Chains A and B, each alone.
Chain A
């Protein structure tokens, strides 16, 4: 049995490095500032919300609404195409995720099919005996879902950034959810209010009478302390939409002593607005936010600049907020809060302290147990291996940027118990080999090689469990799965490299007898 120098240096180097990477997470910030040299690793392990305090919101984008809206648009498209091709139809309607209609003249089937195909590849057309169905293909639906969520995430990010939260985490979850974590925010009320609005802004022409292509929307007006809804009849198609707005500012109108929001539009918007206001002087235009008319002023003169003002009984705060929402853009779909968790900073600090104590007690207890059971030599080797198992685990988590959660701490301590296993398997094998051969060096060699396959098999199956925990879990549970997985991998690694090297060192240093498990006549 030889001790290769490369191997020795590798093991020592890695152990020292793991300690240096672990220490910044354990030392207090003051100690770090004063005594920790700047050339050493500085990164600390990142803590989950349950340890550092903060709020976490799970949001769901209501993709269904968007799809329904798109299907309604599709219905209009289909109507246009049918008229264009002079195809006679009846009962055209949007049904769930499809548009269906019937032909008055069955011989026009072929022609209809060809005409509808021109709508594009996103749609599938199905000819049934009595009716024709046209809808999005499932690929197109998935694509839309993805686009809606991507846009929502972007808007959420912009709105949260405007709030000035430090290091928010915004993450996609599944096909229609967004996880939002706000470290250090104890009460997420502001965030919830901001995200609760879609902020869909549109300008509409006001129509004198109801008819095809008009909608009826209400305006809430408070007058002398009484609130009432005033209905407006509007053109269904908006003139200006929120995406044409390039800037929005809150603004105090000194004359009327009232808070307003001023808008500037992009070129397209400005042109449309200029044309419209020129043609409609003396008539009202309605400004609609989230399906409510906020104001419907009369156009006094043409507005060529693309600037507009929204007034609507704003408070300073609400005008600031609306301006902010308009700048950040509208959400493609309403967001619903599915889950909300907040953890105060004191609780987080208490949890860290309790977790540290528990891990420390676990280490001491396991060490004592190993030393008592295996004695100073084998027990000592196991303890050193376990110690570096821990530092490697924390170093690994720090370097990977994994987040340590409260259940993650439980995972670390559990790993400690299980990391012993690899060492136990090896020691028991050596003991068995020794009872046959009576040769310590040979037994250590063959004990290792025989134990390794068992270690790999048994740990890989455990990894399956840890992998599924990760797959299934959210937040803290994932933290547990990550530490468990890392712990298992590292325990295999230390068993193979560190334990073996240490045993060889003890053998070279003290000879075969101390490693004989008190058996007699060993060589």
Chain B
């Protein structure tokens, strides 16, 4: 039983480390913003609009051959990449001027060029208008999410808790976006899914810690607030680590065994869960020190 080695209450001084963690978070956020400024996102067809074809060949065909054959077709900027194995290729190109009808011509050209060598497994065509709306809706969904969480925590706890939780979540979301920009991972609807899932996961962690802080505020009226927050974080630390552990175990199984599409969902969520665990421990709790929580205790005392 590994539990034996997990203390009931940890003795780490997380609250004293807060200046390091705040600076670290600021660095992460700045880095993300800087990369976004420099390299933007590597928008996928969900957002940019365009056409994607997944093909499978019986025998591995060198990418260079495919690329040169495709460039002869005169269909503009084409990217070809392997998708999971040497036999699976993703071919992507921009939407031809004449809209979706043009796409059928191009697909026909491609299947004529590679007759008998390739089987088309999947095609996706997205118009540019659709993409803009997706970005807008995605950002709106995230903002509404943060707002809803702010209100919910304000009602269940206090507004200070809501504010700190949302700051931590915002940091979290920005870093996951930063991951997309820094590594130039293709930015599709999966990115919005990853960020919203991360937010949902992190708020879960944060609420557990806040719940404990609230409980301890009632229990220890004289304990200095920094010690109280530190104690609360430490008391819930074994649970935080355990839950992150199992979630990561499940996510890694998905990443390694779930095939390419599922892998593209799970990797950003893995990043998000790691960052989320960090921010709920090191940011969300210690941020509360900027507010006078004593006042909350006094309010409760007055009948």
Specify which chain A residues have a CB less than 8 angstroms from the CB of B56 in the assembled complex: 346
Please tell me which stretch of A224-232, A262-270, A333-341 contacts chain B, meaning at least 4 of its Cβ atoms lie within 8 angstroms of it: A333-341
Task: Name B residues whose Cβ lies closer than 8 Å to a Cβ of A.
Answer: 1-4, 6, 8, 54, 56, 100, 103-104, 119-127, 129-130, 137-138, 140-142, 144-145, 148-149, 152-153, 156, 189-190, 192-193, 196-197, 199-201, 203-205, 207-208, 211-212, 235-236, 238-239, 242-243, 245-254, 256-259, 261-262, 265-266, 269
- Kindly state the separation between the CA atoms of A374 and B245 in the bound complex, as whole angstroms: 13
Expressed in whole angstroms, the minimum distance between the Cβ of A440 and any Cβ of chain B is 16
The contact string, 1 if C-beta is below 8 Å from chain B, for chain A 325-353, is: 00000000000011111111011001100
B54 touches A347 (CB 8 A): yes
Specify which chain A residues have a CB less than 8 angstroms from the CB of B201 in the assembled complex: 418, 462
Interface size on A, residues (CB 8 A): 70
Please tell me which stretch of A98-106, A214-222, A360-368 contacts chain B, meaning at least 4 of its Cβ atoms lie within 8 angstroms of it: A360-368
The contact string, 1 if C-beta is below 8 Å from chain B, for chain A 422-443, is: 0011001001100100000000
Specify which chain B residues have a CB less than 8 angstroms from the CB of A354 in the assembled complex: 257-259, 262
Specify which chain A residues have a CB less than 8 angstroms from the CB of B197 in the assembled complex: 414, 465, 469, 484
Once A424-B239, A480-B193 are accepted as A-B contacts, the answer to whether A341 and B123 lie under 8 Å apart by CB is yes
B149 touches A461 (CB 8 A): yes
Task: Name A residues whose Cβ lies closer than 8 Å to a Cβ of B.
Answer: 50, 58, 189, 192, 337-344, 346-347, 350-351, 354-355, 357-359, 361-362, 365-366, 369-370, 372-375, 406-407, 409-410, 413-414, 416-418, 420-421, 424-425, 428, 431-432, 435, 453-454, 457-466, 468-469, 471-473, 477, 480, 484, 517-518
A370 touches B127 (CB 8 A): no
- Please name 6 further chain A to chain B contacts, defined as beta carbons within 8 Å, in addition to the given A341-B125, A347-B122, A362-B253, sorted by A numbering: A337-B127, A358-B256, A358-B262, A410-B262, A418-B204, A457-B207
Once A406-B261, A458-B204, A459-B204 are accepted as A-B contacts, the answer to whether A369 and B249 lie under 8 Å apart by CB is yes
Closest to B152 in A: A461
A461 touches B200 (CB 8 A): yes
A468 touches B1 (CB 8 A): no
B156 touches A469 (CB 8 A): no
Expressed in whole angstroms, the minimum distance between the Cβ of B203 and any Cβ of chain A is 4
A351 touches B261 (CB 8 A): yes
Closest to B103 in A: A340
- Kindly state the separation between the CA atoms of A129 and B154 in the bound complex, as whole angstroms: 52
- What are the 7 A-B residue pairs with the smallest beta carbon separation, nearest first? A465-B200, A417-B247, A354-B259, A472-B141, A358-B258, A417-B250, A375-B1
Expressed in whole angstroms, the minimum distance between the Cβ of B161 and any Cβ of chain A is 11
Specify which chain A residues have a CB less than 8 angstroms from the CB of B192 in the assembled complex: 472-473, 477
Specify which chain A residues have a CB less than 8 angstroms from the CB of B265 in the assembled complex: 407, 410, 480
Main secondary structure of the interface of B (DSSP, over half): helix
Expressed in whole angstroms, the minimum distance between the Cβ of B167 and any Cβ of chain A is 15
B211 contact from A58, A454, A462, Cβ within 8 A: A454
Expressed in whole angstroms, the minimum distance between the Cβ of B122 and any Cβ of chain A is 5
- Kindly state the separation between the CA atoms of A416 and B249 in the bound complex, as whole angstroms: 10
A370 touches B137 (CB 8 A): no
- Kindly state the separation between the CA atoms of A372 and B258 in the bound complex, as whole angstroms: 25
Expressed in whole angstroms, the minimum distance between the Cβ of B110 and any Cβ of chain A is 13
Specify which chain B residues have a CB less than 8 angstroms from the CB of A428 in the assembled complex: 236, 238-239, 242
Once A459-B204, A469-B193 are accepted as A-B contacts, the answer to whether A432 and B235 lie under 8 Å apart by CB is yes
A424 touches B243 (CB 8 A): yes
Question: Can you list 25 pairs linking A and B with CB atoms under 8 Å apart?
Answer: A58-B130, A337-B127, A340-B123, A341-B124, A342-B123, A344-B119, A344-B122, A351-B261, A358-B259, A359-B253, A366-B246, A413-B250, A413-B258, A417-B249, A418-B243, A421-B239, A425-B208, A454-B207, A458-B205, A464-B145, A464-B149, A473-B193, A480-B265, A517-B3, A518-B1
- Kindly state the separation between the CA atoms of A435 and B8 in the bound complex, as whole angstroms: 9
Specify which chain A residues have a CB less than 8 angstroms from the CB of B208 in the assembled complex: 425, 454, 458
Closest to A371 in B: B1
A373 contact from B3, B130, B145, B269, Cβ within 8 A: B3
Closest to B120 in A: A344
Interface centre among B4, B140, B239 (most CB of A within 10 A): B239
Closest to B157 in A: A457
A462 touches B3 (CB 8 A): no
Specify which chain B residues have a CB less than 8 angstroms from the CB of A460 in the assembled complex: 152
Once A461-B149, A461-B152 are accepted as A-B contacts, the answer to whether A468 and B196 lie under 8 Å apart by CB is yes
Specify which chain A residues have a CB less than 8 angstroms from the CB of B212 in the assembled complex: 454
Expressed in whole angstroms, the minimum distance between the Cβ of B290 and any Cβ of chain A is 22
B211 touches A418 (CB 8 A): no
B250 touches A416 (CB 8 A): yes
B127 touches A338 (CB 8 A): yes
A477 touches B123 (CB 8 A): no
Specify which chain B residues have a CB less than 8 angstroms from the CB of A366 in the assembled complex: 246, 249-250
A425 touches B239 (CB 8 A): yes
Expressed in whole angstroms, the minimum distance between the Cβ of B202 and any Cβ of chain A is 9
A461 touches B153 (CB 8 A): yes
Specify which chain A residues have a CB less than 8 angstroms from the CB of B145 in the assembled complex: 464-465, 468
Once A458-B204, A461-B203, A462-B200 are accepted as A-B contacts, the answer to whether A469 and B121 lie under 8 Å apart by CB is no
Specify which chain B residues have a CB less than 8 angstroms from the CB of A466 in the assembled complex: 200
Specify which chain A residues have a CB less than 8 angstroms from the CB of B122 in the assembled complex: 341-344, 347
Expressed in whole angstroms, the minimum distance between the Cβ of A184 and any Cβ of chain B is 15
Expressed in whole angstroms, the minimum distance between the Cβ of B123 and any Cβ of chain A is 5
Specify which chain A residues have a CB less than 8 angstroms from the CB of B153 in the assembled complex: 461
A518 touches B152 (CB 8 A): no
A472 touches B140 (CB 8 A): yes
Specify which chain A residues have a CB less than 8 angstroms from the CB of B242 in the assembled complex: 373, 420, 424, 428
Interface centre among A354, A453, A460 (most CB of B within 10 A): A354
Expressed in whole angstroms, the minimum distance between the Cβ of B4 and any Cβ of chain A is 6
Expressed in whole angstroms, the minimum distance between the Cβ of A353 and any Cβ of chain B is 8
A339 touches B152 (CB 8 A): no
- Kindly state the separation between the CA atoms of A359 and B204 in the bound complex, as whole angstroms: 23
Specify which chain A residues have a CB less than 8 angstroms from the CB of B137 in the assembled complex: 472
- Kindly state the separation between the CA atoms of A472 and B189 in the bound complex, as whole angstroms: 10
Expressed in whole angstroms, the minimum distance between the Cβ of A515 and any Cβ of chain B is 12
Closest to B252 in A: A365
- Kindly state the separation between the CA atoms of A407 and B269 in the bound complex, as whole angstroms: 12
A477 touches B189 (CB 8 A): yes
